[in-house]
Chain A
């Protein structure tokens, strides 16, 4: 990755577009605190996570591309473990678990081992773990991968709900339709650089598609088209 500046407001959904290998997952891992950048700052409400990594624990929720789960633990144990890692305890943890199990309809899976879940169920559990502690910033790396259309619609519902509640969301994908359906801003990464950053206006899919292909195929359409969000 090279110099990348992104600013996201509360309640905003940013779609991070790019071809495979563009640097989306690396960027999101850095934002989530899983990977340390060589330089720079990642701030939420003016506080830098790199200087205070424990802050990320309470305010960021992260769902990596392949939901990371411990195959030998049950769905319920995952929620418990994630809650504790994110600083939830006692009644607060129990309440958060109840709320997320109900919202993502995980009740029937609660005692099932993560190792035997289907891909869609794994993704749902990963999302539950990311949302459990009520994060202010939600980082989703290709969350619609391996989901069927019904699950994709449900996921969009959750994203809209979270955004309406004031959560800032970054959603990485290589699907243009996903961005236009769920996001109100789009940023395009190419070869580790930010090439485009703009609000999505009136669902202009064709223009966005053209821009994306310009950047992805020819590597141009870059700085001169970049706009401040």
Chain B
């Protein structure tokens, strides 16, 4: 029950702050622009594509590219993943560091809540916001579902990949917020970690290191398979490991704070 109380309060705080609304408005506007460009490209090449047996359809050219630039390259405005790398740290930065600067963190301890429930409650609230944001982004390609042939399986796989990416980035953001003394530091560190995770394999390839470690560490390599419609246990396990480790670190930091003051 106490996790729900934390989630409820965190959601309330999230929705009354202008930051969440501004981020939602700006990113959705940008995604709408991307959707329009992708749709324009699809309509322009529709006749040519229809002649190709097994050629790419609406899902490959509009639905999945809406979510990420990983498969399409970076010529268009950012997709959901690229935007998430920036907005998740901004959303999560105050979750614990903000409480610390308000002096409200001890209130949670005084209410008899273990650190794990505080972290989980806050994480769930952030995830609810992000799921809503993702749903609005997905609503754009889905709005034409009645007039096109959608590959529902591939879109579901890509959406699952996106959801897990958001969950991993949010967990990293909460952990950074738990360790940082100021929200801005938390955002900077979370952004850096997110970008490092996203591009570690590219950086390794450019440096000539082609071992499997950098590929395994990279968020993009696990997400890419899902964007292509391939859901594997190994990829899901990678995301779950990141989430669990980040939340455990945040919990450990809060518990230590209660011990040390």
Q: Chain A residues in contact with chain B, CB under 8 A? A: 26, 29, 32-36, 53-57, 60, 62, 64, 66, 68-73, 77, 81-82, 84-87
**Least Cβ–Cβ distance between A60 and chain B, in angstroms:** 7
Which 3 A-B pairs rank lowest in CB-CB distance, beginning with the nearest?
A: A34-B106, A57-B112, A53-B112
CB contacts (< 8 Å) of A35 on chain B: these are: 106, 109, 258, 261
Q: Does B77 count as interface, using CB distance less than 8 angstroms?
A: no
CB contacts (< 8 Å) of B259 on chain A: these are: 36
Tell me which of A26, A60, A81 contacts B261 (CB under 8 A). Answer: A26
CB contacts (< 8 Å) of A70 on chain B: these are: 13, 102, 104
Residue of A nearest to B107 (CB): A68
Q: What 0/1 pattern do residues 54 to 92 of B give for CB contact below 8 A with A?
A: 000000000000000000000000000000000000000
Q: Is the CB of A73 within 8 A of B8?
A: no
**Least Cβ–Cβ distance between B257 and chain A, in angstroms:** 9
Q: Is the CB of A68 within 8 A of B102?
A: yes
Of the A-B pairs whose beta carbons lie under 8 Å apart in the complex, a sample of 10, sorted by A's number, is A32-B110, A34-B107, A34-B109, A53-B113, A54-B112, A62-B110, A72-B13, A73-B13, A73-B16, A85-B113
* Given A68-B103, A84-B5, A85-B5, A60 and B110 contact (CB-CB distance below 8 Å): yes
**Least Cβ–Cβ distance between A135 and chain B, in angstroms:** 11
Q: Does B37 count as interface, using CB distance less than 8 angstroms?
A: no
CB contacts (< 8 Å) of A73 on chain B: these are: 12-13, 16
Residue of A nearest to B4 (CB): A84
**Least Cβ–Cβ distance between B15 and chain A, in angstroms:** 10
Additional A-B contact list (7), CB under 8 Å, known A33-B110, A68-B107, A84-B5: A29-B106, A32-B110, A34-B110, A62-B110, A66-B103, A85-B111, A87-B1
CB contacts (< 8 Å) of A68 on chain B: these are: 102-104, 106-107
Residue of B nearest to A65 (CB): B103
Q: Does B237 count as interface, using CB distance less than 8 angstroms?
A: no
Q: How far is the CA of A105 from the CA of B94 in the complex (A)?
A: 32
Q: How far is the CA of A66 from the CA of B105 in the complex (A)?
A: 13
CB contacts (< 8 Å) of A34 on chain B: these are: 106-107, 109-110, 258
**Least Cβ–Cβ distance between A160 and chain B, in angstroms:** 24
CB contacts (< 8 Å) of A33 on chain B: these are: 109-112
Q: Is the CB of B102 within 8 A of A56?
A: no
Q: What 0/1 pattern do residues 1 to 28 of B give for CB contact below 8 A with A?
A: 1100100110011001100000000000
CB contacts (< 8 Å) of B199 on chain A: these are: none
Q: Chain B residues in contact with chain A, CB under 8 A? A: 1-2, 5, 8-9, 12-13, 16-17, 102-104, 106-114, 258-259, 261
* Given A35-B109, A35-B258, A36-B258, A77 and B12 contact (CB-CB distance below 8 Å): yes
CB contacts (< 8 Å) of A86 on chain B: these are: 111
**Least Cβ–Cβ distance between B158 and chain A, in angstroms:** 35
Q: How far is the CA of A34 from the CA of B111 in the complex (A)?
A: 8
**Least Cβ–Cβ distance between A6 and chain B, in angstroms:** 18
**Least Cβ–Cβ distance between A64 and chain B, in angstroms:** 7
CB contacts (< 8 Å) of B113 on chain A: these are: 53, 57, 85
**Least Cβ–Cβ distance between B112 and chain A, in angstroms:** 4
* Given A34-B258, A72-B17, A56 and B5 contact (CB-CB distance below 8 Å): no
Q: How far is the CA of A69 from the CA of B112 in the complex (A)?
A: 18
Residue of A nearest to B106 (CB): A34
Q: How far is the CA of A171 from the CA of B17 in the complex (A)?
A: 35
Q: Is the CB of A53 within 8 A of B114?
A: yes
Q: How far is the CA of A176 from the CA of B106 in the complex (A)?
A: 28
Most buried by B among A29, A36, A54, A85: A85
**Least Cβ–Cβ distance between B251 and chain A, in angstroms:** 15
**Least Cβ–Cβ distance between B22 and chain A, in angstroms:** 14
CB contacts (< 8 Å) of A85 on chain B: these are: 2, 5, 9, 107-108, 111, 113
Q: How far is the CA of A58 from the CA of B112 in the complex (A)?
A: 9
CB contacts (< 8 Å) of B102 on chain A: these are: 68-71
* Given A64-B103, A70-B104, A56 and B110 contact (CB-CB distance below 8 Å): yes
**Least Cβ–Cβ distance between B3 and chain A, in angstroms:** 12
Tell me which of B9, B106, B110, B258 contacts A81 (CB under 8 A). Answer: B9
**Least Cβ–Cβ distance between A42 and chain B, in angstroms:** 12
**Least Cβ–Cβ distance between A150 and chain B, in angstroms:** 26
Most buried by B among A55, A70, A73: A70
**Least Cβ–Cβ distance between A129 and chain B, in angstroms:** 8
